[in-house]
Amino acid sequence: MLFSEFALWCEKIEQLSGRLEMIDLIAGILPDLDEEDLPIFVRYIRGLIFPDWSSVHLGIGPNLLYDAVAYVGGKKRSDLVSFVNQIGDAGKAVEAFLLLEKTQQSHLFSSEELTLADVHAIFERMADTGGVKSQKEKMRNIRLLFQNASPLDGRYLTRLMLEELRIGVGEGNVRDAIAKAFSLSPDLINRAHQVKNDLGEVARLAKYDPDSLQDVVIELFRPVKMMLAQAGSIQDMTEGSRLVCAEYKYDGSRFQCHLSGDRVAIYSRRLEDLTTALPDIAEQLRKVISGDVILDGEVIAIEDGRPMPFQTVLRRIRRKHDVAEHADQIRMIPYVFDILYRDGESLIDLPLTKRRHHLEAALTGCIAPQIRSADPRELEDFYYSALDAGHEGIMLKVPDSPYIPGNRGRHWVKCKPEVETIDLAVIGGEWGEGRRAHYFGSFLLACQDDQGRLLPVSRVATGINDETLALLYDLFSDRIISRSGKEVSFEPGIIFEVGYSEIQKSPNYESGYTLRFPRFVRIRDDKRMDEIETLAMFTERYLRSGSSTDSPLLMRK
């Protein structure tokens, strides 16, 4: 497939609004793709260049990309940036820029048609280049791509490279399209996806080796998505005197540890490889593990035996230099609460209680304590002991539940005393005033609709101390895509958890809602963009508001 054909498909898909139409369209394309193009196409339409499990990234920021594209058109970066500022969408701005430059200066462009596989090979090369020469090398490759790109190709190349394709294709749509294209059951595809964590590979198997889909198993050093929790209450979980497993809810960072022989890897909830940032955690785990395992747990920072705020954990994880020195300053410990694989055997289909036996057999330490009870009072005591020890609350888990990667169901329920908080994408900001003039003083937040489009809901300015303000400046300064007066818009990708007192209807925001007294709580470094609050969840919160309570028995977020 030519890249230009891929771009045309993207344009078509982007114009569709109905889910079924989209599934039909994609299902119609997949059977015609060959073994090389099929996995690439499937990943790309979701805006992913590499498999979900891979921690490889292109590492291209908007500035480098604009420099390269402007160079191809024989212009300065500022010429292109002014297009971006006017249009407000980096992809469409590059498209308009190329359209103009191609008509005026066609001699600067070549007309070699790149295939999808050519483009992918260039991306792989770019991701592979590190070291001193890497920026130059990346620049050379980006120029090569845009020299051969039509304006429409430019739109989608830009969005892919900035990891912001946003044509509304969600994971569920692609899963259903694969099932439809190859006449397979959506459950089979779903299950294979949970285990393989790469829809590209699942599509390839669906076409070329469908029988093997039954038998896919999780593999060492290919992280799978983590099982997630819903908010709930002790009362709901123990209804009918049901037994539950309860553990402390640790407020740190989720990790997945893969260990085999001498090799150990630690992955974050977003499946980034954190092994070099957390050598002390790898070491602590290595000492207590026997055999080959995949473990799930939470790492927390402690001082004088008490858990430290989550921000401290984030500081350690984001550290790229002087890791050892900071490992001495900020002590971190892992709490393992699940095991997914042991000595060649996948454990995810076993009930939690059986997995726990495996966990206790494979590890001699670092295991999160667990109690089992059907008595709400006992669980309530456990809950208060968690709070007294400085933890966030408790997790209640259904004893016979399997481990379902990526699932946020009623098998795991979290119970914590909190003001209502919500996870939203940061899409813009405003420069501060006075002492804060060189920082962003407030941030514009958005939820997503069911197509993944971002809809503004609120601004947040309070709850940010000076240290966080500086951290936020560092994070966002390379994400600016347009400016207008004091307002800037950001390339989405960073998520804030925000507290609020109430949700109100508002004609001032595209979502139709806004937050009363929004307050910054933390950066959700562990969440991906498709995990932010949806408009439907927002509406549900609005309808439910006023019914929350502080008792752990009745609590529900």
Site string for ligand AMP, 257-296 (x = CB under 6 A): ----------------------------------------
Contact track, ligand AMP, 170-209, x by CB under 6 A: ----------------------------------------
Q: Which is nearer to ligand AMP, 26 or 271 (CB)?
A: 271
Among residues 120, 207, 356, 414, the one that binds ligand AMP under rule CB under 6 A: 414
From the list 181-189, 248-256, 377-385, 532-540, the region that binds ligand AMP by CB under 6 A is 248-256
According to the binding rule CB under 6 A, does residue 533 interact with ligand AMP?
no
The region of 101-109, 180-188, 245-253, 545-553 touching ligand AMP under the rule CB under 6 A is 245-253
Q: Which two tokens stand for residue 159?
A: 């969005």
320 is catalytic: no
DSSP 344: T
Q: 151-161 and 134-147 are packed helices; what angle lies between their axes, rounded to 10 degrees?
A: 150
C-alpha 199, offset from chain centre: 16
Residue 534, classified by CB atoms within 10 Å of its CB into exposed (0-12), middle (13-18) or buried (19+), is middle
> Residue 368, interface with ligand AMP (CB under 6 A)?
yes
Distance between CA atoms of 120 and 287, rounded to whole angstroms? 40
> Which residue among 19, 75, 140, 254 contacts ligand AMP (CB under 6 A)?
254
Q: Report if residue 250 touches ligand AMP, rule: CB under 6 A.
A: yes
Q: Does 302 bind ligand AMP (CB under 6 A)?
A: no
| Cα dihedral across residues 205, 211, 214, 216: positive or negative | negative
How far is the C-alpha of 61 from the C-alpha of 73, rounded, in Å? Answer: 19
Residues 335-354 contacting ligand AMP, CB under 6 A = 337
Structure tokens, 72: 């191809």
Which residues have a Cβ under 8 Å from the Cβ of 66 and sit 6 or more positions away? 77, 80, 81, 84
In the set 249, 397, 414, 416, the catalytic residue is 249
Span near ligand AMP by CB under 6 A; candidates 244-252, 282-290, 308-316, 323-331:
244-252
* DSSP code for 192: H
DSSP states along 231-271: E--HHHHHTTT--EEEEEE--SEEEEEEEETTEEEEEETT-
First-to-last C-alpha distance (Å) of the chain: 47
Structure-token pair, residue 92? 């469409």
Q: Quick one: tokens of 143?
A: 């120029």
Window 224 to 243, contacts with ligand AMP (CB under 6 A)? 228-229
Please identify, using beta-carbon distances, which residue of 312 and 489 lies nearer to ligand AMP: 312
Tell me the closest approach of the beta carbon of residue 140 to ligand AMP, in angstroms.
41
Say how far apart CA 81 and CA 66 lie, in whole Å.
7
Contacting range for ligand AMP; rule: CB under 6 A; set: 28-36, 126-134, 247-255, 440-448:
247-255
> Shortest distance, CB of residue 229 to ligand AMP, whole angstroms?
5
Tell whether residue 310 is a contact of ligand AMP (CB under 6 A): no
Beta bridge partners of 421: 499
# residues near ligand AMP by CB under 6 A: 11
DSSP H or E segment with residue 481: strand 480-484
Confirm or reject binding of residue 247 to ligand AMP (CB under 6 A).
yes
State the binding string over 23-62 for ligand AMP (x if CB under 6 A, else -). Answer: ----------------------------------------
CB-based contact 410:233 (threshold 8 Å): no
Residues marked active site are found at 249
Q: Which residues bind ligand AMP (CB under 6 A)?
A: 228-229, 247, 249-250, 254, 298, 337, 368, 395, 414
